[in-house]
């Protein structure tokens, strides 16, 4: 499974696809593997109030999904196209630790 972080409800378009702002701004949708979710959340979304990880089956995304180096030796999945809403199996809430850091547990 791969995960896409969202701060609120996902609104699919008329075609049933989710197109977050990064798709237009950067040309792809950011994803993380399970072990990367908390790091990404704390690195880029530490100041948001609510955060969920959309769990996605990468086998449903086809050839538009690429695994790429983020520029520091770590590889992340990127989707070069809209995310079909039906590929999202569930939303997993992230919680804050006592120190205020985001914590991700895919077993929730």
How confident is the model over 3-13, as pLDDT tens digits? 999 999 888 99
Structure-block tokens of residue 106 = 């895919």
Which domain covers residue 97, as residue numbers? 2-103
Q: Look up the pTM and report it.
A: 0.94
Residue 15 — pLDDT band, cuts 50, 70, 90? very high
Asked, for residue 20, whether it belongs to a domain, the answer is: yes
Instruction: Assign residue 13 the CATH number of its domain.
Output: 3.20.170.20
pLDDT single digits (tens) 18-37? 999 999 999 999 999 999 99
3 state DSSP class of 78:
strand
């Amino acid at each position: 499974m791969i995960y896409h972080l969202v701060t609120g409800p996902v609104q699919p378009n008329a075609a049933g696809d989710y197109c977050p702002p990064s798709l237009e701004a950067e040309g792809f949708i950011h994803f993380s593997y399970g072990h990367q979710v908390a790091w990404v959340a704390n690195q880029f979304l530490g100041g948001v109030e609510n955060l969920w990880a959309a769990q996605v089956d990468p086998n449903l995304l086809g050839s538009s999904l690429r695994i790429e180096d983020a520029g520091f030796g770590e590889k992340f999945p990127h989707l070069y196209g809209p995310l079909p809403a039906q590929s999202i199996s569930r939303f997993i809430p992230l919680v804050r630790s006592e120190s205020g850091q985001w914590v991700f547990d895919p077993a929730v």
